[in-house]
C-alpha cells in the first residue's frame, strides 16, 4: 500500500514537471482561456460537485467533525458561484510572466537580462476548505506553473470533482490536464512523499493551522513558503490620538475576527491607559468581545479575565482580545518581537520619532502607523488576488500575489566572449 502511494505521488510529480514546461511557454491568451473554461466547467458541473461535497460532509458528520469544521468543508451554489467569479477575476489580471526586470551591458559586451519566469511545479498542502483547490490552482496557473494539490482527506471527493472541472478547462484551452493534479488518497504517506520530491517540485506552500505548517517545515526537503498564524498587535502610544486609537483597535479586532490580519492583542502605554482603556473596553464588551487583561488592565476595569502568560503568543481568531499595559515604547517593541508572528503590527501615535522607531524595529512583514492591521491583503495593497500572507523573509514577505508565484532567470547574450 505504501509503495502504491509513493509510486502514485512520483507519477504525479513527473507528470507535473512535464506539464510545467508547456505551462511556461503558454501565452496569456491560452492561460486566460483555460481559466474562463474552468469557470464554465464548474458551473456546468455544479450538481456533481455539490453531490460529492454532500458525501464528504456526511462522512465527516458521521466521524464527529465539529460544526465549525463542517462549515469550512461545505460548498453550496453561492460558494461555487464565488469560486467561478474568482477564476474570471484571475483571468483579468495581467500576466506576471515574461517581462524583463532589468538589463545591463558589461564592459566586455555581454548583455545580461533578468527575465521573469514561472517557478515551475508548486505543491500546496492544505486543510479542509475545498474552495482553496480552485483559488490556489488558478493563481499558480496564471503565473505559468503546474500545481499538485493535497487537501484535507475529509474533502477528497469534493476536490476530485473540482479537479475534473479544472482539467476540463485546461484541455479546452489546449493546455495539459496534468498542470493541475489532486493527490488521490487519504493516506498521509502521500504528503511525506510529496515533501521529498525535490527533483520535480520547486516550492511547497502549506496553508492551514500551526500543526500542519510545522509538520511541513520539519519534513520538507523542498523550499517552503510559510503562511503562519497572524498574532497581530495594535500599540497605543503615549502620544496617540485616543479617538483614532479606539477606532483602529476596534476595527482591527471586530471587523472580521476570523482572519489572520485581525488584531489579537492590544498594548497600551501606561501614560494613557487610564484615559483610554475604560472606554475602549466598554466598546469591545458591547460588541461581545471577551477581554483578557494583565494586572494593570484588570485594575482599571474590574471583573475581566486574567490573561495567561502563554496566550500572548496565541492567535484567538475569535472575538477575544488580550490587553496589556506597557511602560514604554521599548517594552511594546520587545513584546511584539518576542510574542508576535511577524505578520502585521500597528502603532497609533502623533510622535514621529516613536513611529519611526516602531516601523524600523518591529520585525514584521507589515508595520503600520495610524491604520488598522486589517489592510494586509493583496487586494488592499494593490497587488490583486493573493494565495496567502507570507510570514517568513525569503522570496515573498506579506501578501503573496501573482508576481510572488514567479522567479527570475539570467539570460546572457554574447558574441563569443570567453573568460580571461
Instruction: Kindly list the residues in this chain that would bind its own copies in the complex (CB under 8 A).
Output: 21, 24-25, 104, 106, 110, 112, 119-120, 198, 202-203, 214, 217-218, 221, 223-225, 241, 244, 247-248, 250-252, 255-256, 337, 359-361, 363-372, 374-376, 380-382, 392-395, 397-398, 407-419
CA distances from 165 to 42, 90, 168, 413 (A): 5, 17, 5, 42
Residue 385: CB minimum distance to its own copies, A: 17
Nearer residue to its own copies within complex by CB, 64 or 286: 286
Instruction: For residue 388, count CB atoms less than 10 angstroms from its CB and return exposed for 0-12, middle for 13-18, buried for 19 or more.
Output: buried
Residue 178: CB minimum distance to its own copies, A: 17
Nearer residue to its own copies within complex by CB, 77 or 379: 379
Nearer residue to its own copies within complex by CB, 147 or 161: 147
202: closest CA among 242, 150, 157, 146? 146
Nearer residue to its own copies within complex by CB, 85 or 393: 393
Please answer whether residues 270 and 292 qualify as being in contact, where contact means their C-beta atoms are separated by less than 8 angstroms: no
Instruction: For residue 49, count CB atoms less than 10 angstroms from its CB and return exposed for 0-12, middle for 13-18, buried for 19 or more.
Output: buried
Instruction: For residue 107, count CB atoms less than 10 angstroms from its CB and return exposed for 0-12, middle for 13-18, buried for 19 or more.
Output: exposed
Nearer residue to its own copies within complex by CB, 56 or 200: 200
Residue 212: CB minimum distance to its own copies, A: 14
Please answer whether residues 376 and 265 qualify as being in contact, where contact means their C-beta atoms are separated by less than 8 angstroms: no
Nearer residue to its own copies within complex by CB, 55 or 242: 242
Give me the sign of the Cα torsion angle 182, 183, 186, 188: negative
234: closest CA among 268, 266, 260, 186? 266
Please answer whether residues 332 and 361 qualify as being in contact, where contact means their C-beta atoms are separated by less than 8 angstroms: no
Residue 106: CB minimum distance to its own copies, A: 6
Residue 394: CB minimum distance to its own copies, A: 4
Nearer residue to its own copies within complex by CB, 77 or 356: 356
Residue 312: CB minimum distance to its own copies, A: 14
> How far is 355 from 71, CA to CA, in rounded Å?
41
* Alpha-helical regions (H) of 45-98: 46-62, 67-73, 77-92
User: Which stretch of DSSP H or E encloses residue 38?
Assistant: helix 28-44
Amino acid at each position: 500500500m505504501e509503495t502504491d502511494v509513493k509510486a502514485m505521488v512520483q507519477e504525479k510529480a513527473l507528470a507535473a514537471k512535464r506539464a510545467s514546461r508547456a505551462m511556461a511557454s503558454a501565452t496569456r491568451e491560452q492561460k486566460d482561456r483555460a481559466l474562463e473554461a474552468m469557470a464554465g466547467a464548474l458551473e456546468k458541473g455544479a450538481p456533481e460537485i455539490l453531490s460529492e461535497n454532500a458525501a464528504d460532509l456526511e462522512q465527516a458528520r458521521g466521524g464527529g467533525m465539529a460544526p465549525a469544521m463542517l462549515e469550512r468543508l461545505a460548498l453550496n451554489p453561492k460558494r461555487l458561484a464565488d469560486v467561478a467569479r474568482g477564476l474570471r477575476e484571475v483571468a483579468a489580471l495581467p500576466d506576471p510572466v515574461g517581462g524583463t526586470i532589468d538589463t545591463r551591458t558589461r564592459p566586455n559586451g555581454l548583455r545580461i537580462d533578468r527575465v521573469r519566469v514561472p517557478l515551475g511545479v508548486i505543491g500546496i498542502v492544505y486543510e479542509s476548505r475545498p474552495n482553496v483547490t480552485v483559488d490556489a490552482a488558478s493563481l499558480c496557473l496564471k503565473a505559468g506553473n503546474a500545481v499538485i494539490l493535497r487537501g484535507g482527506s475529509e474533502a477528497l471527493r469534493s476536490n476530485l470533482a473540482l479537479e475534473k472541472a479544472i482539467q476540463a478547462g485546461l484541455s479546452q484551452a489546449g493546455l495539459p490536464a496534468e498542470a493541475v493534479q489532486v493527490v488521490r488518497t487519504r493516506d498521509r504517506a502521500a504528503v511525506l512523499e510529496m515533501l521529498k520530491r525535490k527533483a520535480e517540485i520547486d516550492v511547497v506552500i502549506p496553508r492551514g493551522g500551526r500543526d500542519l505548517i510545522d509538520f511541513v517545515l520539519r519534513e520538507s526537503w523542498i523550499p517552503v513558503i510559510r503562511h503562519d498564524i497572524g498574532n497581530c498587535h495594535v500599540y497605543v502610544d503615549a502620544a496617540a490620538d485616543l479617538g483614532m486609537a479606539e477606532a483602529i483597535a476596534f476595527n482591527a479586532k471586530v471587523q472580521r475576527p476570523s482572519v489572520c490580519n485581525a488584531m489579537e492583542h492590544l498594548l497600551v502605554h501606561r501614560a494613557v491607559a487610564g484615559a483610554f482603556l475604560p472606554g475602549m473596553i466598554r466598546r469591545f464588551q458591547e460588541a461581545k468581545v471577551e477581554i483578557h487583561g494583565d494586572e494593570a488592565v484588570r485594575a482599571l476595569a474590574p471583573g475581566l479575565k486574567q490573561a495567561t502568560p502563554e496566550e500572548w503568543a496565541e492567535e484567538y481568531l475569535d472575538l477575544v482580545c488580550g490587553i496589556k499595559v506597557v511602560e514604554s515604547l521599548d517594552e511594546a517593541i520587545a513584546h511584539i518581537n518576542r510574542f508576535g508572528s511577524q505578520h502585521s503590527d500597528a502603532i497609533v501615535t502623533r510622535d514621529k520619532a516613536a513611529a519611526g522607531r516602531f516601523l524600523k524595529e518591529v520585525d514584521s512583514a507589515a508595520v503600520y502607523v495610524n491604520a488598522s492591521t486589517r489592510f494586509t491583503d493583496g487586494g488592499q495593497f494593490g497587488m490583486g488576488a493573493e494565495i496567502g500572507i507570507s510570514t517568513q523573509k525569503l522570496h515573498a514577505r506579506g501578501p503573496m500575489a501573482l508576481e510572488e508565484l514567479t522567479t527570475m532567470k539570467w539570460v546572457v547574450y554574447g558574441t563569443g566572449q570567453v573568460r580571461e
